[in-house]
Amino acid sequence: MSKEDKVKKQFTKSDKAKRGWWASVVFMALICELIYFLSTTKIVEENRDILIGIIGMLTGSISSMLAIASGRDPSEVEELKDELSSANSDRAALIARLRDSQIQMQLLREQIFELQNAVINKLSMFSSGEKPIKTKDQSQVVLPSEVDEWIPKLDND
């Protein structure tokens, strides 16, 4: 993304925020005018329930309009929560991959160490027929305390 695209995106967010702020201010002014109008006008008994329902809906949205007017857009908060949750899931996946790679690397180190010991001890791995590598899978891997200390344990392990 070029610098111009970033500036254009920020500019549109700024315009969107300004429009939202003005819309919320106008909405609150209309609510105040409606309340003033209804307080000075006599309400017919037949229409009273409908007007009370409409006023209840409008006054219920005042809190979100105040939040937008003060600069806190609820949709932006939800977007940030979604981004944070996505970042946390990516972080957990990377930690799992790091842990698996550490286990595989330790498995290879132990196998090389065992092979070197077998060559040194026997000078020929074919002389006695004994297999030099005894570590076959991940369940036999014992991580050094430094590695085990810094990699968190996952629930599914």
Contact 132, 119 (CB under 8 A): yes
Separation between Cα atoms, residue 148 and residue 157, nearest integer Å? 13
Q: What is the reported pLDDT for 157? A: 46
Contact 31, 58 (CB under 8 A): yes
Cβ count within 10 A of residue 65: 19
CA angle 51-55-61, nearest 5°? 155
0.95 surpassed by pTM? no
For 32, the 3-state DSSP assignment is helix
Domain ranges of the chain: 1-72, 80-157
Q: What is the reported pLDDT for 112? A: 92
pLDDT in 10s for each residue of the chain, 157 residues:
566 665 566 557 677 677 777 777 787 788 788 778 877 877 777 777 877 787 777 777 777 777 766 666 667 778 888 899 999 999 999 998 998 899 999 999 999 998 888 777 776 545 566 666 677 777 777 777 877 777 777 655 4
